[in-house]
Amino acid sequence: MDTAAEAGSAGTGASARLDFDAIVIGAGVTGLYQLYKLRELGVRVRAFEAGSRVGGTWYWNRYPGARFDSESWTYGYAFSRELLNEWDWSEHFAPQPETERYLNFVADKFDLRRDIQFNTRVTAAHYREDTRNWEITLHDGSRRTTRFLVTAIGILSAPVMPNIPGVESFKGQSCHTHNWPKETVSFAGKRVGIIGTGATAVQIIQTIAKTVGHLTIFQRTPNWCAPLNNSRISTEEMRGIRARYGEILARCRETPGCYVHSTDPRSTLNTTPEERTAFWEKRYASPGFGFWQGNFQDMLTDRAANALASEFIANKIRSRVHDPVVAEKLIPKDHGVGMRRQPLETGYYEVYNQPNVELVDVRETPIERVTAAGIQTSAKAHDFDIIIYATGFDAITGTFDRMDIRGVNGLRLKEVWANGPQTYLGVFVQGFPNLLMAMGPHAGLGNYTRCAEYSVEWVTGVIQYATQRGLTRVAATAEGVREWTDYVLGLGQGQLMNETGSWMTGVNRNLEGKQTPRIMRYSGGHPAYREHCDAVAAAGYPRLALA
């Protein structure tokens, strides 16, 4: 359906006078499928995307070494058997260019681009109670009206630069990893500084270390990294994967994080030291998130169990890094293994054995400022040609906060969530009718596409239910939000991950008000999340106010 004719018409009470029935913000993994599903429903829909092409995370994060940490063949969309049949993955953990190609292939196959407006950032979204619709403002000041507004904005799409003075004064090349340039950046012979040692930094460091002239890594908090154990997928192997897609996807549906990995039912301390060492050796040598998602069931809840698993990894680091002083610096001391999202690596620790690589512990020698020539710490001046900011994101709620989202009576979403997200099922917020968050805070989170597909289908179900019945106002109730929020906060208690500062608990030390961990995710496992949401849909959405 051509929507151009409707665009620009003034929003009034009748849906036909609104520009769209539904607007989707974002054309990444979630937004693409959301657009597909809403189009299938026959509603007038348009997606707005800040990037110049589809892909979201896989469009922006084009830094060297960016790749999956989830098995490629568990990450692709499952909704189309034809798509599963047509796409071959070349590696068990595909690099970013391949994933970006995949998402473009999906956009082509389903002719999605004709309903996406690219290079368009949504800056504001205001709800109008009199006409029960949303009016969104684009970066050029123009506006569009819609009955339903669906956010598909990801959880890691608001990059944050470090709060270090002088960042603008650097005369060389520099950028945040999220905003990596499309042109190839050459590191050969260059003096490079990188700030950060999260999952992103680990991928870049191990990649550019192969060609860089000199690399200085500024580390504040080390992370517990485990080997990715990636490999190529032969044609024959891909054929086998394709034949097993049914089984693979069924397995992903059963595990808490929608990965192929699931925890071992044993408790760590009920095993002998020999048994657990053998088990961990196996996990350490296996591909993907095995050590994090496939460990003993108490690894992320029992401190003693966690300490033993941490010591196992610490010894691996000691055995791989030649200089014992450097090795100790690379071993986290303030949190245990798996309490933050585990970075996966390929030769990361060996990088520190290279003579042209230097580790700077910024807790010992803090960065004082960025200068025209490089980075000045309390100990010395480091001169660079390139500075990379692998400093992370204002995760989960940050992208919402960067838009001016206002609900009933001008209520600001940022203020409603000032003390942490409050949602109904991670989809609705009280006071924001007709706003649906695909992959919102407090929803089930894990292997991203697996969770996003479910989220999109559930959101689509609500819109279908409303449109079929001529309902024009779908709103969360106070009880619904209170019950869900209390339930999610209760579930998260006792999870060591929720006590640790990281993007997963909404902590970003560069941002005011984001210094202490909060429960940002539903932690009851995706199967239970789906069961809950399915029951709500089957009962006709009892905790929503429908009119």
Extract the runs of DSSP E, i.e. beta strands, from 57-195: 116-117, 122-128, 133-138, 143-151, 173-176, 191-195
CA atoms of 346 and 69, how far apart (whole Å) = 11
Of the candidates 467, 430, 459, the residue with the CA atom closest to the CA atom of residue 443: 459
> Is residue 511 within the footprint of ligand NA7 (CB under 6 A)?
no
Choice from 162, 290, 407, 440 touching ligand NA7 (CB under 6 A): 162
Choice from 169, 179, 186, 510 touching ligand NA7 (CB under 6 A): 510
84 three-state secondary structure: helix
Closest to ligand NA7 by CB, 89 vs 389, is 389
Tell me the site size for ligand NA7, rule CB under 6 A.
23
Residue 225 C-beta: closest distance to ligand NA7, Å: 11
CA atoms of 209 and 252, how far apart (whole Å) = 35
Closest to ligand NA7 by CB, 38 vs 202, is 202
CB 445 within 8 A of CB 426: no
Instruction: Give 529's contacts (C-beta < 8 A, 6+ positions apart).
Output: 443, 444, 522
Q: Which residue's Cβ lies closest to ligand NA7? A: 198
CA atoms of 20 and 283, how far apart (whole Å) = 50
Closest to ligand NA7 by CB, 290 vs 407, is 290
Q: Mask 454-493, x = binds ligand NA7 (CB under 6 A)?
A: ----------------------------------------
> Is residue 370 within the footprint of ligand NA7 (CB under 6 A)?
no
> Is residue 318 within the footprint of ligand NA7 (CB under 6 A)?
no
> Is residue 434 within the footprint of ligand NA7 (CB under 6 A)?
no
CA atoms of 284 and 288, how far apart (whole Å) = 9
Choice from 106, 156, 425, 466 touching ligand NA7 (CB under 6 A): 156
Tokens, residue 411:
């209520």
Residue 500 C-beta: closest distance to ligand NA7, Å: 10
Of the candidates 72, 61, 337, the residue with the CA atom closest to the CA atom of residue 226: 337
Q: Which of residues 71-100 bind ligand NA7 (CB under 6 A)?
A: none
CB 93 within 8 A of CB 288: yes
Instruction: Give 505's contacts (C-beta < 8 A, 6+ positions apart).
Output: 497, 498, 499, 517, 518, 519, 520
> Is residue 384 within the footprint of ligand NA7 (CB under 6 A)?
no
Residue 219 C-beta: closest distance to ligand NA7, Å: 7
Closest to ligand NA7 by CB, 393 vs 484, is 393
Residue 390 C-beta: closest distance to ligand NA7, Å: 6
Beta bridge partners of 194: 217, 388
Choice from 157, 391, 447, 485 touching ligand NA7 (CB under 6 A): 391
AA letter at 453: E
> Is residue 70 within the footprint of ligand NA7 (CB under 6 A)?
no
Choice from 341, 402, 412, 482 touching ligand NA7 (CB under 6 A): 341
> Is residue 220 within the footprint of ligand NA7 (CB under 6 A)?
yes
Tokens, residue 28:
């990444």
> Is residue 449 within the footprint of ligand NA7 (CB under 6 A)?
no
Choice from 197, 206, 255, 397 touching ligand NA7 (CB under 6 A): 197
Residue 341 C-beta: closest distance to ligand NA7, Å: 4
Closest to ligand NA7 by CB, 377 vs 423, is 377
CA atoms of 269 and 303, how far apart (whole Å) = 11
Closest to ligand NA7 by CB, 41 vs 362, is 362
Choice from 50, 116, 390, 427 touching ligand NA7 (CB under 6 A): 390
387 three-state secondary structure: strand
329 three-state secondary structure: helix
CB 359 within 8 A of CB 217: yes
Number of residues written out for the chain: 547
> Is residue 201 within the footprint of ligand NA7 (CB under 6 A)?
yes
Residue 161 C-beta: closest distance to ligand NA7, Å: 8
Choice from 164, 258, 330, 427 touching ligand NA7 (CB under 6 A): 164
Residue 312 C-beta: closest distance to ligand NA7, Å: 21
Q: Mask 239-268, x = binds ligand NA7 (CB under 6 A)?
A: ------------------------------
AA letter at 29: V
Torsion (CA) 325, 375, 351, 349 in degrees, nearest 10? 50
> Is residue 62 within the footprint of ligand NA7 (CB under 6 A)?
no
CA atoms of 477 and 185, how far apart (whole Å) = 51
Residue 442 C-beta: closest distance to ligand NA7, Å: 18
Q: Could you count the other beta carbons within 10 Å of the beta carbon of residue 483?
A: 13
Binding site for ligand NA7 (CB under 6 A): 156, 162-164, 195-201, 218, 220-221, 341, 362, 367, 390-392, 503, 509-510
